[in-house]
Chains A and B, each alone.
Chain A
Amino acid sequence: MAHRILQIKRWLFTTNHKDVGILYLVTSLYFFIIAGTLALLFRIQLSVPENDFLSAAKFNQAVTNHGLLMVFWFLSPLAFAFANYFVPIQLGAKDMAFPRLNALSYWLLLFGGLLVLAGFFVPGGTADFGWTAYAPLNTETFTPNPGANLTAFGLLMLIASVTVGTVNFLVTIFQLRAKGYKFLGLPMFTWGIFFTVLMMLWAFPSLQAALTLLAVDRILGATIFEAPKAGLIWDHLFWFFGHPEVYIVLFPGLALALDMISVFSRRPLFGRKVMIGALAAAAALSFGVYAHHMFMTGIDLSYLKIHMLTTELISVPFGIITILAIISMLGGAIRLTTPMLFAIGSIAVFIIGGFSGVFNSNPVLDIANRGSYWVVAHFHYVMVGAALFALLGGLYYWFPKMTGRMYNETLGKIHFIISFIGFNLLYFPMFFLIDMPRRIFTYPEWTGWGPLNFMATIGGFIFGLSHLIMFANLLYSLRHGPLADKNPWGAWSYEWMIDSPPSEFNFEGIPIVQGNRLTIAMADGAVTSMESHGNHLSPWPLLISLGPFLFLLGLGLWIAEAVFSLPLMLVGAIVFLYAVYGWFRDDFHERFKFEEPPEYKERWPFTNIHRVKLGMYFFLLGDAVFFAGLLGTYVFMRLEAGNTLPGLITHNILLGLLAVLLMLWSSVFMYVAARAAKLGNKTLALAGISLSIILALSYLVVTGFDWLAVFSAGFTLSDPAIASSATTALSHAIHLIAGLAVAAYLALKVWIRGFTGHVPETIDSLSLYWAFLAVVSIAIFTITYVF
């Protein structure tokens, strides 16, 4: 019994990267089953003409949640299950740079997904506006379903999870590589994750901006997305995120397929460096192609041509990767194991998906294809076929390493064959349904779409049910499979050089790379793994995520006028505050220590930056895009929304100037505090933080007073320019209040304990955060108070 309780405690409180990876894996497969079941339901509906298996409303809800859950809670989390488990090992590290944040990232993801699912049980139903949630369809007027609010909250929690995870992976990859491990030597999978998190860093904040504005619309009664032409600003914010998201889903699987091709062809990848360059080029271009999703919106022709050109250009790096992958197999001693079959299958369907995408880049052809089942076939070949097949291959590939047991190879191959046939039977007929609109819940018989749809539904069931073979195989093998040795595939990345499954800290000693070989050094004075990672358990990541989950669930129910909503919100707030207090208390007593000795790590090109400060940099670089999205929305509203007034008239510019000067000098004093902390001057550091806090509070008072005056003058949130600038100011204020809590805590810690642990570096990081908020306040002033 005690053992069982310990096991439950381990899985709830773990911060170990491998445990977190397994939690991601189980969660992603759980959401896969739900999202897959939804797909089968609407495939039944579409299998024959004029079917009434699902109503139009239920059909829309099923399609919407299928898309959201598959993309956000299955495909990416499955990739990040592997990333959590294997990237630190492939780098020669004992854990992620911030283990507690890693656990936090997982729990935020899980509770975000549960919020979305909760929408199904709210009276009035869940979101039904498609995964793109186009405006104004996403507004209260057109989607009154209260469950849609829970979907928006769930997505915001997901973005919080992604933000934390992104920062963690970037710092880990940049600063936790084993000594002597050069960037170019990293396995393709880690390269794929590196580019994925880079895209996540700059893409997700745009969606965050869109969802924040939508939340203001839906909760506070603003009408940002109901303003004239406002549908286009949603398109911009959504697709600025949405197109990189395609590659965010694709890259981990694609890179993993390349690793598997290399391992099972028994030869290095041909043109490996070119492939890495091609991935970099595709990641960079992904931010400049997104308007091809908006060819039908009537946007400016010259602007449209630029995006057509960049879209056609982006097919070049993917073409290069595909060709080099095929060349890598030529002349190799190929072993057609289950992972290899899935890798080859992934590349094969990616070629079909990629080619069909090139047609969509041409605006003239796009007019014909847009909104048809051709597009459905295209993106499923890319996002499901290429990404999913590779990731399923990865599940077989790494199963022996994660469990220490081999799976049944014959059943694995049968799974591949049936799923590959099912997949193609499901999606290939859709290319011929080019005249069928993709968002209809039924169709008349005379259209002739019935037979192809029936075929697709049969394919869907074959594809869906084929995975039961995988579940049965892996679950049985987990207990009864033959024991796996360290390196059953003869692979060369570093996870294959340690035990199967790996020990708690991966490497017993300090891993160092010498001439592409990993060695374990026990240097004098080195911190052994047990000492460096004394406490792996922390309840706070779980509770910090549970609090907002309960609060947002209560808020969603409160909007739906359900009972027990207010107590739920109250409990959520208490849990959150208690968990934050607990996290701070642990930090105050420095209970949770984890840091590998920096001198045994390769940290280029951030050799001299502390990991906390580097993490703060990455967080702020992403946050810059969030505020750019909000301010861009304000500019858009001023240009397009008709009778909006300039900020010069709505605001008091002198109050605005006073506020921005207060924020600027608050930042100067925080900077002084950071320098004083670095030099060990306690008095000056405390004085700097205190003055900074006072000035920041004054900023909040002055800004609040100015906004009160704006609303007193009769302006309301029904003016889209006012609503978007108010959202920006509110977001800035929330950032500042969170910063004030940390600043007050740090002042207390310095006062009582002095400069222990990493306090000087933490104050330095806080001064970065403060400077960023000063920069944003300048932008808010010069744009929303003047333009």
Chain B
Amino acid sequence: MERESGGRVSEPVYRLKELRKLAWAIAAGFAVSGLLILFTIGVITGSITSGLAIAIVTLGLIILTAAIFMDVLWEGWGVQLFSVITLVIVMLLILNIIFGRQVMP
């Protein structure tokens, strides 16, 4: 089985790797769905009210979903590094918007 890099890997190993990714994705699909439903119940019942809790849940769900569905977990450190840098930059923008607010005239 030829890989994109031009290197070669045996057919069963390649197959196993793809099937393992698939299994993780389906499991993550159920896990994220469950967490979203729990989160919604928490919001409707008034258990989750603070902005901080919403932010933490949002961040957690985003990282979990991106890590598995976007293959970040399975790719090399290059992709992982760039993903982390992006997360830092996204957080930088959001935090700047939240904390860089007008308090003086």
Hey, which bits of chain A sit against chain B, CB under 8 A? Answer: 174, 202, 206, 229, 232-233, 236, 240, 287-288, 290-291, 294, 297-301, 303, 597-599, 603-610, 613, 617-618, 620-621, 624-625, 628-629, 631-633, 635-636, 639-640, 648, 653-654, 657, 660-661, 664-665, 667-668, 671-672, 675, 678-679, 761, 767-768, 770-772, 774-775, 778-779, 781-783, 786-787
Contacts and interface: CB of A to CB of B under 8 A. Distances in A.
Contact of A661 (B7, B36, B54, B71): B36
20 contacts: A206-B93, A233-B97, A288-B92, A298-B104, A299-B103, A604-B78, A608-B3, A609-B5, A621-B82, A636-B101, A657-B40, A667-B69, A668-B69, A671-B25, A761-B4, A768-B71, A771-B65, A775-B69, A778-B62, A787-B51
A359 to B, nearest CB: 22
B18 A782 contact: no
A679 B18 contact: yes
B5 A653 contact: no
Contact of A287 (B43, B66, B70, B92): B92
Nearest to B70: A771
For B5, B21, B39, B76, the residue with the greatest tally of chain A CB atoms inside 10 Å of its CB is B5
Contacts of A236: 93, 96-97, 100
Interface in B64-105: 65-66, 69-71, 75-79, 81-83, 86, 89-90, 92-94, 96-105
Bin the interface of chain B by size.
Answer: 35 or more
Nearest to A671: B25
Given A628-B93, A782-B54, A202 B65 contact: no
A787 B29 contact: no
A298 B65 CA distance: 38
Contact of A782 (B57, B97, B101, B105): B57
B5 A782 contact: no
A786 B54 contact: yes
Contacts of B3: 608
A-B CB proximity, top 3 nearest: A771-B69, A605-B78, A599-B6
Nearest to A203: B89
Interface of B: 3-7, 15, 18-19, 21-22, 25-26, 29, 32-33, 36-37, 39-40, 43-44, 48, 51, 54, 57-58, 61-62, 65-66, 69-71, 75-79, 81-83, 86, 89-90, 92-94, 96-105
Contacts of B6: 597-599
A303 B98 CA distance: 11
B69 A621 contact: no
Given A636-B97, A783-B58, A671 B103 contact: no
B57 A775 contact: no
Contact of B96 (A291, A606, A633, A665): A291
Given A299-B100, A620-B70, A665 B29 contact: yes
Contacts of B102: 229, 232, 297-299, 640
Contacts of B89: 202, 287, 625
B37 to A, nearest CB: 7
A625 B7 CA distance: 34
Contacts of A599: 5-7
A489 B69 CA distance: 51
Nearest to A780: B58
A300 B99 contact: yes
Contacts of A629: 93
Nearest to B42: A786
A288 B91 CA distance: 11
A483 B60 CA distance: 63
Contacts of A625: 86, 89-90, 93
